[in-house]
A and B are shown apart, each in its own frame.
Chain A
Amino acid sequence: MARGIKDRVAIVGMGCSRFGERWNDDAETLMVEAFDECIADAGIDVSRIDAAWLGVGFEAQSIGPSGIPLATALRLPDIGVTKVENYCATGTDSFRGAVYAVASGAADIALAMGVEKLKDTGYGGLPARSRGLNFDMYGVTGSAPGNFAQIAAPYRAKHGVSRDDLKRAMAHASVKSHANGAKNPKAHLRKAIDIETVLNAPMIAEPLGLFDCCGVSDGAACAIVTTPEIARELGRTDPILVKSIQLVTSNGWELQHGGGWDGTYFHTTRKAAARAYAEAGVTDPREEIDLLEVHDCFSITELVTMEDLFISKEGEAWKDILDGFYDADGHTPCQIDGGLKCFGHPIGASGLRMIYENYLQLQGRAGERQRNDGPKLALSHNLGGAPIQNVSAITIVGLEGA
């Protein structure tokens, strides 16, 4: 394995817009909102940014192609802007581009932006779209909940979990995220709910009910990264350092190799997690990782991901969830900001929103929802596609020395 980039890049500024149904904003104004916070946090002139990455998931339905929308929205100083799209892992991939530019020495200071404007489609959920000319002939253009729901039945069958136990554990994950989101002023959904509400909600894609699904939101989030040396020059005494970034893309094995993958887990997440821990020097993730922000597009995704990140044992995440292990006051909080479930899910922004929360928590700046046991190492997990073919990205950030 490559020697990695642990501690070679520091985050010196982050910003995140309020997520939600931003009827009176477009992608450009959302990017400005996130960037204003970010550049103030970094305390630098825009002219110092050497390169930028723009992540958008549904460009055809909003801002259109190329890096130009970011360059013009922020009037960036004649620099290269790269457009990134990698399903719902787009935000982390945008961050990865900026971080790698700094780690390589090609840029001193780089910007990663993620944005999505979804509420211009006229309906809830993600926009229906082509997946490419070949896929459209023999693939299933199901909805996002339909795609992710498919992990539930094989998981249940393999681990001998009853429908009710699984549904209740999934519901607990959502109830916990709603409780967390209620404390987050930037979150899309800020109402605490009880478990009965989740269990009795209308079915969207069996077994996912309405409250097993995350919000579809407008929003933007961004990060300014640089070297630890420049971070110190900028006056940062406690920079947040990138410990690892790993991204794994399905190659068709799960989809095409009958008898290989059994449908109960995310192959890419397991691969990415193992590499991310190795890069960051983490050997016991259940004890060493203090905070988790995962891609809880659906409750079942969060549940299975707890195992794929090697925090819960295989087949036992549902028990850990019901035990409160991942609650805000539990052993390892997951989605302490409300997660995709309640903070919201503006596709291209989500990976950066997760890193934003981890960044705030590690600096003790998370306000009412601050975890008070001195978190040092935080993981974010960003996933796009469907269980059977997807992109999984993991970022671990932490304090110096962590």
Chain B
Amino acid sequence: MSDFGILSCGIYLPRRRLDRTAIHDANRWFAPGLKSLARGHRAIANWDEDTVTMAVEAARACLDGRDRAAVEGLTLASVTHPFADRSNAGIVKEALNLSERIAALDAGGSMRAATSALRDALEGSRTRLCIGSDLRKARPASEAELVQGDGAAAILVGRGVPIARLVASHSVTVDFVDHFRASGESFDYQWESRWVREEGHLAILADAVQALLAEAKVSAGDIDHVVLPIASAGAVKAIARKLGLKDEAVVDTLSVEIGDTGTGHPLLLLASALDRALPGERILVTGFGQGADVLLFEATDAIADHRSCRSVAARIADGMPDHNYMRFLFHRGLIDLERGIRAELDQKQPGTTLYRKRAAVLGLVGSRCTVTGTVQFPPSAISVDPNGRKQGAQEDYPLADRSARIVSYTADALGYSPDPPTYYGTLDFEGGGRLVTEFAEVGSDDVEVGRAMRMVFRIKAEDEQRRFTKYFWKAVPVNEGDA
């Protein structure tokens, strides 16, 4: 059997889950017809998260415990890349501290960008990380606002011990415009959902699935897990019925718990299927958008060793219910709160300094003195060890995946923050190294001297004058269930 296939997967869901009734309660006066969608929660990214940061976290989960030197390529599929002309995948590469000798590509333009990227990787020969990530904006009181969620998923494809192998694939491309968004615009324009279902899902997508099944000589009833990343539960049921798929084979679209996470959603649901698949089971994955991608996998014996502690179910369970619709609107830039003069601080980022310090800033790479063993961040020419000020003896020392403990902290209500108060403090890493940084996803009960923390890649600040996003690492509490 081939040693090429899916090697691992990882997902990321933001911690906050906005109660859809909170959205509908605020907008009911204007859009009472959306009541049927106002149940469950949607995952919402924090103010300091975007497509790139969520992609990094999904990739870290996917690469956990693996040799990152094996990664030869990286594709970041999204329709909400923060940068239109700066490789977003390149930022992910720096954050993951991957080798410079890799290919990196931003894929986009359609909701099926991630499945297309996954197909390309599976039909190639290199070990490639395929990530789908989106943080989409929707107008208040729109259907999309209720239906969408934020999140990312990563699939590592390559040589090794695959947990699933590609059996067959099929793609069609048709300019079927169910929704669109022109370059530079913020919001989608959506066509009538009945037409999308009849002519899109039940025709283009269903036909593509049938074509693949015929080609692979597999009957629909023999599929054990089907990924149909479509928000409408009715459409999903109708497709399954039309194709003759087993009801129990349809992978839960997670619409109630987190919402439709966009480009990465097929990969996220594939990860969910891989969590439950048994050796030999068939997994069908679809992507829909101006045509369709259909990929048929077979789980291998190695699926039994697929670690369950990072399961999609655990990530869903790790959510924090949120009812603050106003905060959500502010964090999405949909309402303009009075931020005060302190928020005017110029965040200009010189390209030269970021380039020089990219390993430290984007990769959280500190240094260790090869003579004294002292770890320091940021790296400098002379060791900070007072007992052995050695020069030119520093080696790279990545800190991002090391656990840390709080030395000191505060909750700052004076400085400007989009989510006040700003928690920050000093951390000591296990094995050495110290960092003063902001804390994310914390409340007053989460901080105390000695508390265990782990690092996450986040937005540090936004240069609003020149529209440049500055990233750095923040600390979040280590929760039960964290790998």
Partner-B contacts on A (CB < 8 A): 121-123, 125, 128-130, 133-134, 136-147, 149-154, 156-157, 202-206, 208, 251-253, 255-260, 262-263, 387-388
CA distance A144 to B421 in the complex (A): 14
Contact assessment for B357 and A134 in the assembled complex, using a CB-CB cutoff below 8 Å: yes
The minimal Cβ–Cβ distance linking B110 to chain A, given in whole angstroms, is 35
The residue in chain A whose Cβ has the minimal distance to the Cβ of B438 is A140
CA distance A129 to B450 in the complex (A): 31
The 9 closest A-B pairs by CB, nearest first: A146-B412, A258-B434, A143-B414, A149-B410, A150-B408, A143-B415, A157-B449, A256-B376, A206-B411
- Contact A258 to B375, CB < 8 A, known contacts A134-B353, A205-B410, A206-B410: yes
- Contact A141 to B429, CB < 8 A, known contacts A133-B350, A256-B377: no
Q: Which of A122, A137, A202 contacts B353 (CB 8 A)?
A: A137
Chain B interface residue count: which class?
A: 35 or more
CA distance A208 to B421 in the complex (A): 13
Q: Which of B375, B377, B424, B429 contacts A142 (CB 8 A)?
A: B424
Segment of B16-24, B171-179, B339-347 in the binding face: B339-347
CA distance A164 to B236 in the complex (A): 59
Contact assessment for B413 and A137 in the assembled complex, using a CB-CB cutoff below 8 Å: no
Segment of B55-63, B310-318, B380-388 in the binding face: B380-388
- 12 pairs of residues in contact across A and B, judged by CB atoms under 8 Å: A123-B341, A125-B414, A128-B344, A137-B349, A137-B360, A141-B415, A142-B415, A145-B410, A150-B410, A153-B449, A253-B386, A259-B428
By a CB distance below 8 angstroms, the chain A residues around B429 are 258
CA distance A10 to B183 in the complex (A): 71
- Contact A145 to B340, CB < 8 A, known contacts A137-B353, A256-B384, A257-B384: no
B416 at the binding interface (Cβ < 8 Å) = yes
Contact assessment for B449 and A205 in the assembled complex, using a CB-CB cutoff below 8 Å: no
By a CB distance below 8 angstroms, the chain B residues around A150 are 408-410, 425-426
Contact assessment for B415 and A128 in the assembled complex, using a CB-CB cutoff below 8 Å: yes
Contact assessment for B350 and A257 in the assembled complex, using a CB-CB cutoff below 8 Å: no
The minimal Cβ–Cβ distance linking A248 to chain B, given in whole angstroms, is 14
Mark B346-358 against chain A: 1 for CB-CB distance below 8 A, else 0.
1101100110010
- Contact A141 to B345, CB < 8 A, known contacts A128-B416, A134-B353, A259-B432: yes
Contact assessment for A252 and B472 in the assembled complex, using a CB-CB cutoff below 8 Å: no
Q: Which of B349, B376, B414, B434 contacts A205 (CB 8 A)?
A: B414
Q: Which of B345, B353, B380 contacts A252 (CB 8 A)?
A: B380
By a CB distance below 8 angstroms, the chain B residues around A149 are 410, 412
Mark B461-483 against chain A: 1 for CB-CB distance below 8 A, else 0.
00000000010100000000000
CA distance A239 to B438 in the complex (A): 50
Contact assessment for A262 and B407 in the assembled complex, using a CB-CB cutoff below 8 Å: yes
By a CB distance below 8 angstroms, the chain B residues around A130 are 345-346
- Contact A123 to B378, CB < 8 A, known contacts A146-B415, A204-B413, A253-B386: no
CA distance A128 to B410 in the complex (A): 18
CA distance A143 to B412 in the complex (A): 7
Q: Which of B354, B444, B449 contacts A154 (CB 8 A)?
A: B449
Q: Which of A137, A142, A259, A262 contacts B422 (CB 8 A)?
A: A142
The minimal Cβ–Cβ distance linking B398 to chain A, given in whole angstroms, is 14
By a CB distance below 8 angstroms, the chain B residues around A204 are 412-414
CA distance A154 to B412 in the complex (A): 17
The minimal Cβ–Cβ distance linking A353 to chain B, given in whole angstroms, is 24
By a CB distance below 8 angstroms, the chain A residues around B414 are 125, 143-146, 204-205
Query: Which B410-459 residues have C-beta < 8 A from chain A?
Result: 410-416, 421-422, 424-426, 428-429, 432-434, 436-438, 444, 448-450
Contact assessment for B384 and A138 in the assembled complex, using a CB-CB cutoff below 8 Å: no
Contact assessment for A255 and B449 in the assembled complex, using a CB-CB cutoff below 8 Å: no
By a CB distance below 8 angstroms, the chain B residues around A151 are 408
B374 at the binding interface (Cβ < 8 Å) = yes
B235 at the binding interface (Cβ < 8 Å) = no
Contact assessment for A137 and B361 in the assembled complex, using a CB-CB cutoff below 8 Å: yes
The minimal Cβ–Cβ distance linking A88 to chain B, given in whole angstroms, is 16
The minimal Cβ–Cβ distance linking A209 to chain B, given in whole angstroms, is 10
- Given A123-B342, A206-B410, A206-B411, 10 extra CB contacts under 8 A: A121-B341, A128-B416, A130-B345, A137-B354, A142-B422, A145-B410, A153-B410, A256-B376, A258-B434, A263-B407
The residue in chain B whose Cβ has the minimal distance to the Cβ of A387 is B408
The residue in chain B whose Cβ has the minimal distance to the Cβ of A257 is B384
Residue among A125, A139, A142 with the highest chain B CB neighbour number at 10 A: A142
- Contact A137 to B411, CB < 8 A, known contacts A128-B416, A157-B450, A257-B384: no
Contact assessment for A140 and B437 in the assembled complex, using a CB-CB cutoff below 8 Å: yes
CA distance A252 to B342 in the complex (A): 28
By a CB distance below 8 angstroms, the chain A residues around B385 are 257
The residue in chain A whose Cβ has the minimal distance to the Cβ of B386 is A253
The residue in chain B whose Cβ has the minimal distance to the Cβ of A121 is B341
Contact assessment for A146 and B422 in the assembled complex, using a CB-CB cutoff below 8 Å: yes
Q: Which of B341, B345, B408 contacts A122 (CB 8 A)?
A: B341
By a CB distance below 8 angstroms, the chain B residues around A258 are 375, 428-429, 432-434
By a CB distance below 8 angstroms, the chain A residues around B357 are 134, 137-138
CA distance A343 to B62 in the complex (A): 58
- Contact A139 to B415, CB < 8 A, known contacts A123-B342, A146-B410, A146-B422: no
- Contact A388 to B448, CB < 8 A, known contacts A137-B361, A137-B470, A142-B412: no
Contact assessment for B426 and A123 in the assembled complex, using a CB-CB cutoff below 8 Å: no
Q: Which of B346, B426, B438, B460 contacts A388 (CB 8 A)?
A: B426
The minimal Cβ–Cβ distance linking A230 to chain B, given in whole angstroms, is 42
The residue in chain B whose Cβ has the minimal distance to the Cβ of A150 is B408
The residue in chain B whose Cβ has the minimal distance to the Cβ of A207 is B410
By a CB distance below 8 angstroms, the chain B residues around A203 are 411, 413
Q: Which of B345, B374, B378, B409 contacts A257 (CB 8 A)?
A: B374
The residue in chain A whose Cβ has the minimal distance to the Cβ of B360 is A138
Contact assessment for A154 and B384 in the assembled complex, using a CB-CB cutoff below 8 Å: no
By a CB distance below 8 angstroms, the chain B residues around A208 are 410
CA distance A258 to B376 in the complex (A): 8
Q: Which of B342, B449, B472 contacts A138 (CB 8 A)?
A: B472
The residue in chain B whose Cβ has the minimal distance to the Cβ of A156 is B449
Contact assessment for A257 and B361 in the assembled complex, using a CB-CB cutoff below 8 Å: no
The minimal Cβ–Cβ distance linking A76 to chain B, given in whole angstroms, is 34
Contact assessment for B408 and A153 in the assembled complex, using a CB-CB cutoff below 8 Å: yes
CA distance A136 to B411 in the complex (A): 20
